[in-house]
Amino acid sequence: MLKILVNDGMHSTGQKMLEDANCKVNTNKVAQNELPKELPNYDVIIVRSATKVRKDLIDKCPNLKIIARGGVGLDNIDVDYAKSKGIKVMNTPAASSLAVAELAFGHMFGLARSLYKANREMPSNGSTDFKALKKSYSKGVQLRGKTLGIIGLGRIGRETARIGFALGMKILGVDPFHKNLEMKVNDGYDVSITTVDMETMLQNSDFITLHIPNAGKPVLTKKHFDMMKNGAFLINASRGGTVDEDAMMEALNSGKLAGAGVDVFENEPNPRTDILSHPNVSLSPHIGASTQEAQANIGVELADQILAFMKH
């Protein structure tokens, strides 16, 4: 019988699958500093992005057989070290891709039509300054015909491209591991993603969205913002730290960026207040994969992998 610690939450569907297979599942969160004492009692730990499973913790857990990540990124786990100790590392790369892509477009639509601003102002000023607000927010743009630059063409990047194609956008992809991908849109017609170098993408994109893991340093720095089209929009629903926040704020304040949609932050869970209060930033609190459907898919995908491991 596997003893499983679900430390960052799990959908009830996946939990029931594990319990029906006679696994003992504990969903009570253990604080990070308490894990060295508690985790040695378990065979499996299931985490999201909050819990860190590093070398020092792994060394204290001789019984650990599986580290399972509900989501795509594995930057909170010392993957190679875990594998060197014979520990299986799992994640769910397919389960939440569409949810993240849809959130990215939620920010794009909100920025294109200033919905994020209008929703802030209408409750307080809509009854007294309706005409002024209407005039203020009547200069939006449409996504059809615009160029969407996608940094990272993994599963999430490709889902983002599919939506972009369906909306009539031109797609420019940047990814050293994928070149000129062929794909289907909604199980229909075939399309191809044109891959270009970073500079070409930045110079030609109206909207830019990141779908990459944390690389340990920003992928977009001041020099990259300087290359962008004037009035471009940036979306970051990938990882905090992939964008230099100082450079982003400079670009927003100068008007180089018309707006930014930000779901992830360098200093989570305490984001910079100047980002949170900026009038041209559309905000969400790291909810890319947090839809009911994605969470159910993540739970099922993790349970399937764990149960398959048990059978070997």
- Residue 84 sits in a domain whose CATH number is 3.40.50.720
Instruction: State both tokens at 261.
Output: 């949609």
Instruction: Single out the catalytic residue among 211, 224, 278, 286.
Output: 286
Residues 302 and 262 in one domain: no
Residues 164 and 186 in one domain: yes
Q: Which residue in the block uniquely carries the two structure tokens 């990814």?
A: 175
The CA R_g of the chain, rounded to the nearest whole Å, is 21
Instruction: Single out the catalytic residue among 11, 239, 245, 301.
Output: 239
Alpha-carbon distance of 233 to 107, in angstroms, equals 10
Instruction: State both tokens at 100.
Output: 């993240």
Assess whether 268 carries a catalytic annotation. yes
Range of the domain at 17: 3-95+292-311
Residues 296 and 273 in one domain: no
Residues 248 and 296 in one domain: no
Residues 220 and 165 in one domain: yes
Alpha-carbon distance of 251 to 259, in angstroms, equals 9
Would you state the pLDDT for residue 308? 95
Instruction: Single out the catalytic residue among 102, 250, 266, 268.
Output: 268
Taking alpha carbons only, the member of 285, 281, 114, 111 closest to residue 207 is 111
Residues 60 and 104 in one domain: no
Global pTM value:
0.87
What percent of the residues of the chain are helix, what percent strand, and what percent coil, each to the nearest 5? 40, 20, 40
Q: In the chain, how many domains are there?
A: 2
Would you state the pLDDT for residue 175? 94
Would you state the pLDDT for residue 105? 98
Alpha-carbon distance of 115 to 119, in angstroms, equals 6
Local mean pLDDT, 10-residue blocks, the chain (312 residues): 94 95 96 96 94 97 96 90 97 91 98 96 96 95 98 94 94 89 70 92 98 92 98 97 98 98 96 98 95 94 94 80
Residues 140 and 230 in one domain: yes
Residues 261 and 151 in one domain: yes
Assess whether 120 carries a catalytic annotation. no
Quickly list H helices, the chain: 12-20, 35-38, 55-59, 79-84, 97-112, 115-125, 130-136, 155-166, 198-204, 222-227, 245-254, 273-276, 292-311
Assess whether 107 carries a catalytic annotation. no
